[in-house]
Chain A
Amino acid sequence: DTAVSQTPKYLVTQMGNDKSIKCEQNLGHDTMYWYKQDSKKFLKIMFSYNNKELIINETVPNRFSPKSPDKAHLNLHINSLELGDSAVYFCASSPRPRPGELFFGEGSRLTVL
């Protein structure tokens, strides 16, 4: 059983389109995250949710909108895609109150043409 699963694994789309990435975890964790990994492999936190509540929103353009329908799911919707949005987006989860290690999904590689 995959602990943190993301779909789709690959997205290729045109500038200006809207796309969504879905994430689900079956670890029973309360906190979920979106991280962006750019072409230089730098990992930057975008959002975190604790039990459906937004905890962190790291100066991400408002074209990015996370949604957590329940504590096992965290989705990411991106409007009006730009070339600079091309990256790998990783979902992760952790227990609370202190995270210990993060458990990562396999990543979703987004390519904007």
Chain B
Amino acid sequence: ELKVEQNPLFLSMQEGKNYTIYCNYSTTSDRLYWYRQDPGKSLESLFVLLSNGAVKQEGRLMASLDTKARLSTLHITAAVHDLSATYFCAVDMFDVDDKIIFGKGTRLHILP
């Protein structure tokens, strides 16, 4: 059974600092997605990573995918309060099981 593990699950950090969220998964997949969820809101797509070595950047967020290591990272550069949210990675298992499996989410709280 596919497992998708994010860490940390909770992160409180100061504005201006850098940090990385990790997403490990247990079965071969070449596609991974990152989503953001604000409290009480829906999930918003951030990044779609479609191959080994894919790197995408948007503002202070950068996501990467290493399919050999079964690892994706979401790096936050010089965090600002507006980035406070829950971040989910999701692994595309359509080649195996016809579904997308989500990690448990990382609740990020950035202190002003």
Listed in ascending order, the chain A residues whose CB lies under 8 Å from chain B are: 35, 40-45, 48, 55-56, 90, 97-107
Please pick, from B86, B92, B107, the residue contacting A98 in the complex, using a CB distance under 8 A.
B92
Whether A100 lies near B48 (C-beta < 8 A) is yes
Q: For residue A41, which residues in chain B have a CB less than 8 angstroms away from its CB?
A: 37, 86, 104-105, 107
* A99-B94 contact in complex given A41-B86, A41-B104, C-beta closer than 8 Å: yes
- The minimal Cβ–Cβ distance linking B85 to chain A, given in whole angstroms, is 11
Q: Which residue of B lies closest to A40 (CB)?
A: B104
Give the size range of B's interface with the partner. Answer: 20 to 34
Q: Report the Cα distance A97→B107, complex, angstroms.
A: 32
| Partner-binding segment picked from B17-25, B68-76, B95-103 | B95-103
- The minimal Cβ–Cβ distance linking B7 to chain A, given in whole angstroms, is 15
